[in-house]
Structure 1
């Protein structure tokens, strides 16, 4: 069903909106949904997103109306408890809300994009029952980033502080996790994606769902969690061999970073099939209901904070994210609007096991035909050796031994549409670098947010992804 038809269908009858009290729940436990509607009764249909979309059940409840709140407060809508069946597999679920009189339009939609909408949707993650670990792979859903871009209630973690004097004095912005949106079901900040206009950027259907569909169709299984789970549970990763993050995992708390780093140090592997990772530091409220990000130096307003030094929330200014990810957005860049010129990674070390079965040789270019590099990408500070291969210098915090497997030099001409963040040293030029290193466990980074978009389009990207997951799990 096209987007316009989906929106029209959800608008039929009284509107029904909602959000989860928490973004994840264990199978067999109680999920609390907060729902507002003028309908006498509402219906919630539950879909699991995997290799295919599965309708796993529905519930009904009495309708009660509550007004919307601000973006930075708990909306406190009426609560409805749902017992999650103990046999529901771990995964990402979408609840489709409608008046109880509305029939289920499509019990088997073709993909997550068919479920995507800016209202009447709730995203939540089902974690495995105790004892946990039904797989050796743990997949992290970036709920923090989804809420950072969620504009329900009139704001998000972006925009000027000009009209908010309290925020201006503190240099911070706050968003609530207890409001509609956060991956689906709310308006999002950002430009349309000219390379994949089916869904908005900063949504689950755009970033994570295509990867999960390919991943499960390829025969892999994972347990799923959110970054809030990793924030609250230092040993959540115990027993797993591989942690996966995909797409645009931009906002990290200190506890998430500490716990993922400890997992690596204990020998756990980490695969990042995305970019702009761990760029902003957020503080999570004690009840897990809100995020705060100190983006602006106190008293500063109306500036591009990515081009500014002195932003307290920048990981790179105090504890460079390279120490974990191997790369940083400050060495790469972003292309926000319109189509970008085709750009891929020039391959080096083609004899590495990551490239097995791809047919790639040193000097070949990966993914250029489908503009793999972007819309945001990360890089490591590097130099060229005698054989003209890119070698990480470590000057920006990248661990020793980081092997650069591919390089994409970014156009410096402003007319090319690329934008860049502040950095320590402008030399060499900006470049995306994908690669890996080992320190305890192995960390692989694809260094491009659009990696998952190419999975159905590029057999070499598919082969590399399969190799990485197989090797590290």
Structure 2
């Protein structure tokens, strides 16, 4: 028997003044925040990859106002449960706003799927609820907090999240692309199954992953991010939320999308700046061509990320025809660079070889690509450092990690604005570089060259600092904040 419960949520939002870009985010964040939105009681199973007591996933990565999204939830043992849906933002420093509550809903234990082709684990669970997105819900990252309802006074409750993105098509200053392909690539639900865990090896094309499964604990980052209170939220809370929180705190006109929303350039061409955020490793080749087209049309690109555009990840449909729900490692980006050639030699054959990502980002993926180090200024007179007071050689401690970029591309006007050494395993040196180069229409492409850039912007509720190879960032840093402001102001206002 299906558990489908159709729920339509109504909310009210004062419409912004036409042309008053930024008022959407400013007005949204003026609304009351939620004191209680984090997970309180979380229980991993013996293997540490999942929480079978309550877990779930959504039928789509992103959804627009007026569309519906299904929530698939399993409880073992069967228990009724509630869902509280929160939009993540600033909200006076609280970090989230409660949008709606559903339930109690009947819970049942749903089956763990048998492995399919390429070891894919693809759930076909019955929907527990269907949520129609009201027109008034502002684009953003939304977390649904799942909580079991105890059947006795002495029985504990358990919790986890589901995550989805509300997108829109309005013109905006900033397009924040969530790195949800990479969240899913590293997801090892139910028991050590990701693109990295196939018996043939962890770098080949043999494994596929599906968005039709819960996000388990991010245990693959043992020693980087290992916070069980992020269950079900992918990598958003550790790597991306500090940037979203900071942008909304300062009233930037930002809208959000998933990786799968970037298969054409249309959405990005409505915005002034495109942000690649956090750990943005897996891109369908259509994403690459879209962002390339945006640059060529004059959109500013900010890679506030590391290990980005590393692997071609071709999408395929779910068994019931929903698009872009499955992908695998189709081949390396890198063109004819030695690291791409070596990956083909050592881990292929692959069906695809992506172009040289350095010609888009300015700096490239390097091998080895993980380590930790300080972000060291090399060109203090560059406009991105205006108002920071930095001098050559100044360090922002621990900001390089978990992974980074280096090997600058040979592009006209490209400048290395920061660079230095990342220490692999804490002892083996590898060089990284942060770059900026001019686009064809007075725009620019900036590459911060680290997954950890957002750690220097804010420390919102529910956030735990990551660390990497015996190095860690220190949290909010006024220099990182001012550099980011300079970049965004130039993108939004224009200038030479």
TM-score by length of 1: 0.76
User: Offset of 1:198 from its aligned partner?
Assistant: 8.3
- Aligned ranges 1:258-277 → 2 under 5 Å: 258-277=289-308
- Residue matched to 1:193: 224
Q: Does 1:148 align with 2:176?
A: no
User: Offset of 1:332 from its aligned partner?
Assistant: 6.9
- Residue matched to 1:300: none
- Aligned ranges 1:344-383 → 2 under 5 Å: 344-348=375-379, 350-361=380-391, 363-367=392-396, 370-381=397-408
Instruction: Give the number of aligned pairs.
Output: 403
Structure 1: gaps spanning 5 or more residues: 103-117, 297-303, 382-391, 420-429
Q: Are the counterparts in 1 of residues 218 and 235 from structure 2 also a CA contact under 8 Å?
A: no
Which of residues 116, 121, 125 in structure 1 aligns to 2:161?
121
> SS state of the match for residue 145, structure 1?
helix
> SS state of the match for residue 208, structure 1?
helix
Q: Are the counterparts in 1 of residues 305 and 450 from structure 2 also a CA contact under 8 Å?
A: yes
Partners of 1:4 and 1:29 in 2: CA distance: 27
> SS state of the match for residue 416, structure 1?
coil
- Residue matched to 1:73: 121
> SS state of the match for residue 215, structure 1?
helix
- Residue matched to 1:254: 285
Aligned CA distance change for structure 1 residues 136 and 2 (closer, same or farther; 3 Å): closer
Q: Does 1:242 align with 2:276?
A: no
User: Offset of 1:42 from its aligned partner?
Assistant: 2.7
Q: Does 1:137 align with 2:149?
A: no
> SS state of the match for residue 487, structure 2?
helix
Q: Are the counterparts in 2 of residues 74 and 289 from structure 1 also a CA contact under 8 Å?
A: no
User: Offset of 1:252 from its aligned partner?
Assistant: 0.6
Q: Are the counterparts in 2 of residues 36 and 63 from structure 1 also a CA contact under 8 Å?
A: yes
Partners of 1:48 and 1:356 in 2: CA distance: 33
> SS state of the match for residue 482, structure 2?
helix
User: Offset of 1:191 from its aligned partner?
Assistant: 2.1
- Residue matched to 1:471: 490
User: Offset of 1:234 from its aligned partner?
Assistant: 3.8
Partners of 1:449 and 1:407 in 2: CA distance: 15
Which of residues 178, 196, 213 in structure 1 aligns to 2:212?
178
Q: Are the counterparts in 2 of residues 373 and 448 from structure 1 also a CA contact under 8 Å?
A: yes
> SS state of the match for residue 151, structure 1?
coil
Q: Are the counterparts in 2 of residues 251 and 281 from structure 1 also a CA contact under 8 Å?
A: yes
- Residue matched to 1:322: 358
Partners of 1:161 and 1:8 in 2: CA distance: 28
Partners of 2:174 and 2:39 in 1: CA distance: 37
Partners of 2:106 and 2:223 in 1: CA distance: 37
Output one character per residue of 1:4-52: Cα deviation in whole Å (capped at 9) or x when no partner: 9531599xx9933210111111123211111223545332100111112
User: Offset of 1:194 from its aligned partner?
Assistant: 8.0
Partners of 1:120 and 1:450 in 2: CA distance: 25
Q: Does 1:84 align with 2:133?
A: yes
Partners of 2:341 and 2:234 in 1: CA distance: 18
Partners of 2:37 and 2:165 in 1: CA distance: 26
Q: Are the counterparts in 2 of residues 250 and 278 from structure 1 also a CA contact under 8 Å?
A: yes
Q: Does 1:225 align with 2:257?
A: yes
Partners of 2:296 and 2:400 in 1: CA distance: 30
TM-score by length of 2: 0.73
> SS state of the match for residue 330, structure 1?
coil
Q: Are the counterparts in 1 of residues 171 and 270 from structure 2 also a CA contact under 8 Å?
A: no
Partners of 1:418 and 1:119 in 2: CA distance: 41
- Aligned ranges 1:97-112 → 2 under 5 Å: 97-100=146-149
- Residue matched to 1:384: none
Output one character per residue of 1:131-183: Cα deviation in whole Å (capped at 9) or x when no partner: x22522111011100000001133001134349xxx99x842100111001xx
> SS state of the match for residue 374, structure 2?
coil
Aligned CA distance change for structure 1 residues 276 and 138 (closer, same or farther; 3 Å): same
Q: Are the counterparts in 1 of residues 65 and 137 from structure 2 also a CA contact under 8 Å?
A: yes
Partners of 1:261 and 1:253 in 2: CA distance: 13
- Aligned ranges 1:302-317 → 2 under 5 Å: 308-310=343-345, 311=347
Output one character per residue of 1:238-285: Cα deviation in whole Å (capped at 9) or x when no partner: 321111111110111101111111111111111111111101111100
RMSD, aligned CA:
3.6
Partners of 1:380 and 1:3 in 2: CA distance: 40
Partners of 2:170 and 2:302 in 1: CA distance: 18
Partners of 1:40 and 1:255 in 2: CA distance: 42
Structure 2: gaps spanning 5 or more residues: 1-35, 46-50, 152-157, 318-322, 333-338, 459-475
Aligned CA distance change for structure 1 residues 49 and 439 (closer, same or farther; 3 Å): same
> SS state of the match for residue 157, structure 1?
coil
Q: Are the counterparts in 1 of residues 404 and 451 from structure 2 also a CA contact under 8 Å?
A: yes
